Amino acid sequence: MKKLVIGIVLANLLVACASEKPKEAEKPAPAPAAAPASAPVTASAPAPVVEQKAVPAPVVGADPLNDPNGILAKRSVYYPFDVSAVQDADKPVVQAHAQYLGEHADRKVRVEGNADERGSNEYNLALGQRRAEGVKKMLVLGGTKAGQVDTVSYGEEKPVASGHDESSWSQNRRSDIKY
């Protein structure tokens, strides 16, 4: 019984995490906090309630977008300095999203282009836009309809890493595919 409940809790967490960025999914913080708190309480009465909600999840969870270990869990592509072409290493990721979006015409994404802080703010806004447009082009070539993809650039204005060195810059030269 206990094993089952913990398994269900974990399954729920994984489903919840799947829509987040992969980097955040790696953060283990919420899991240990939630598991011990709910496990002792659900040992008796609330158990059937949890069961009713949770049991269908693994069955219906066939949407590959929600597979935390699948390629679609990767939603970011990275670039060298002042480059806006999707790199070979990231092409399978974009192509997988292209195929998924082609098969799910009701889904829409926004591609957000970003740049590191070198260059001018305006040039970087343009560079981020070109990165996002490049991802969009590849999505459309791979079977996505243009109307499913919106693009936006944040240039250097919304860095995820705030350091002034290559380890931060490499994280900020990035396009994110957001569902």
Query: Residues 20-59: x/- map of binding to another protein (CB under 8 A)?
Result: ----------------------------------------
Please, which of residues 64-83 interact with another protein by CB under 8 A? 82
86 sits near another protein (criterion: CB under 8 A): no
Q: Can you give the three-state secondary structure of the chain, one letter per residue? A: CHHHHHHHHHHHHHHHHHCCCHHHHHCCCHHHHHHHHHHHHCCCCCHHHHHHHHCHHHHHCCCHHHCCCCHHHCCEEECCCCCCCCCHHHHHHHHHHHHHHHHCCCCCEEEEEECCCCCCHHHHHHHHHHHHHHHHHHHHHCCCCHHHEEEEEEECCCCCCCCCCHHHHHHHCEEEEEC
Q: Provide the minimum distance between the beta carbon of 164 and another protein in the complex, in angstroms, as a whole number.
A: 8
- Residue from 152, 161, 168, 171 binding another protein (CB under 8 A): 152
157 sits near another protein (criterion: CB under 8 A): yes
Please, which of residues 101-120 interact with another protein by CB under 8 A? 118-120
